[in-house]
Structure 1
Amino acid sequence: MLDRISLIIVSLAVLLTFYDLKRAYVNKFATKEKDSLSNDDSSTNDDISSIRTPKMKMQIASMIKFRYCQTCGYQNIFKQYSELVRKHYPSIAVMGESYPPPPFRALIARVLSTIKIILLICLLFGQNPFPFLNISTPKIYLWALQNKMYACLMIFFISNSLESYLMSTNAFEISIDDVPLWSKLETGRLPSNNEFIQMLQTFSSKTRF
């Protein structure tokens, strides 16, 4: 049996591997969403380069806030809109934050993630935790011990899918100085580049002296 130090080292390595795989999994969805948005913009002639810089500027300091679903891959979309704000309205501060899921769903996702890690570590080291809990070992766990690689992959991907579903809010909410500009939860879609700039122009004209 491996000593305690070896167990800790291997466990950390497993956790880092899971983190890298999960980050790659999220970035994959981010790329798909970004490509989808780019195609929509092309079809409606909403190319960023074709948008003329508005002549009017905000006369008071403002902050635009993006609250979005990170597990949905909207981080790259947030970066794209941030560049639009800095290009056309450099005086506006930009803030981005995660749109949190309901607390109960977030708790279930954390519990599921913990169970996943414990099961993977036990399988990798061939350990059976059920006798310590005075519980009869399920047949499926005995099968998993005999098919470690397949069982670990199955647990990893199924658990990640459930965690992503629980943490997903499908939100992309935009507000400026606490005034709502756009809500994906209400409209069911993301704004195009022109729509986004027009929203800023409208807000700018309303706040001019």
Structure 2
Amino acid sequence: MQKGMQVQGEIYPPTPMNVMLSQICMYVLFTMIALTFIGESLFKTVDFPLGLKVCNFLKTNFSATMILAFILNTMAQQLVATGAFEIVINDETVFSKLETGRLPTMELLDDLAKTYVDSATS
């Protein structure tokens, strides 16, 4: 790497709405898993019959419960994935996946490297 050249990675933040929806998905997921495994004893202790019915439903439909858990987990991950990729050189954005909708080609990366590395050495 050229002396004086700095490569820095940052996380592009998702929208606050997507973060909130992702957190809701995860709360539902963890609650559902907890109810499946410890809900019956919990609801027996507090004498809550409706909770027992929910736990029995989750246990008898265990495969559907786990499929729903995987779907919720995938949704939560996709909500916070921005897919952003930007190349900034000297405070100038020279490539943005958010604007182009694609990743840079190897030719573009090669051209950028030649242009900016050559200009830095001369």
Higher helix share: 2
SS in structure 2 of the partner of residue 117 of structure 1: helix
Identity of aligned residues (%): 27
TM-score relative to the length of structure 2? 0.74
Deviations along 1:112-158, one digit per CA (max 9) or x if unpaired, are: 212211210220224376xx7x8955x7764222233x144213211
Matches within 5 A, 1:190-205: 190-204=103-117
2-side partners of 1:160 and 1:106: how far apart? 13
Structure 1 residue aligned with 2:58: 144
Verify: 1:106 aligned to 2:16, yes or no: no
Query: Is 2:26–2:72's contact at 8 Å kept on the other side of the alignment?
Result: yes
Read off the aligned partner of 2:96 and give its amino acid letter: S
2-side partners of 1:172 and 1:141: how far apart? 44
2-side partners of 1:171 and 1:164: how far apart? 15
Query: Is 2:35–2:55's contact at 8 Å kept on the other side of the alignment?
Result: no
Query: Is 2:19–2:80's contact at 8 Å kept on the other side of the alignment?
Result: yes
Segments of 5+ residues of structure 1 without an aligned counterpart are: 1-85
1-side partners of 2:78 and 2:113: how far apart? 33
Larger Rg: 2
TM-score relative to the length of structure 1? 0.47
1-side partners of 2:14 and 2:120: how far apart? 33
Structure 2 residue aligned with 1:51: none
Deviations along 1:136-191, one digit per CA (max 9) or x if unpaired, are: 55x7764222233x144213211122112211222211112321011111112111
Number of residue equivalences: 118
Segments of 5+ residues of structure 2 without an aligned counterpart are: none
1-side partners of 2:94 and 2:12: how far apart? 16
Structure 2 residue aligned with 1:175: 88
Verify: 1:186 aligned to 2:111, yes or no: no
Query: Is 2:25–2:73's contact at 8 Å kept on the other side of the alignment?
Result: no
CA 123–99 in structure 1, closer or farther in 2 if over 3 Å, else same: same
Task: Give the root-mean-square deviation of aligned CA atoms.
Answer: 3.1
Query: Is 1:126–1:145's contact at 8 Å kept on the other side of the alignment?
Result: no
CA 135–166 in structure 1, closer or farther in 2 if over 3 Å, else same: farther
Structure 2 residue aligned with 1:166: 79
Moved more, 199-208 or 108-117: 199-208
Which structure 1 residue ranges, 4+ long, deviate > 2 Å from structure 2? 125-129, 134-137, 139-143, 200-209
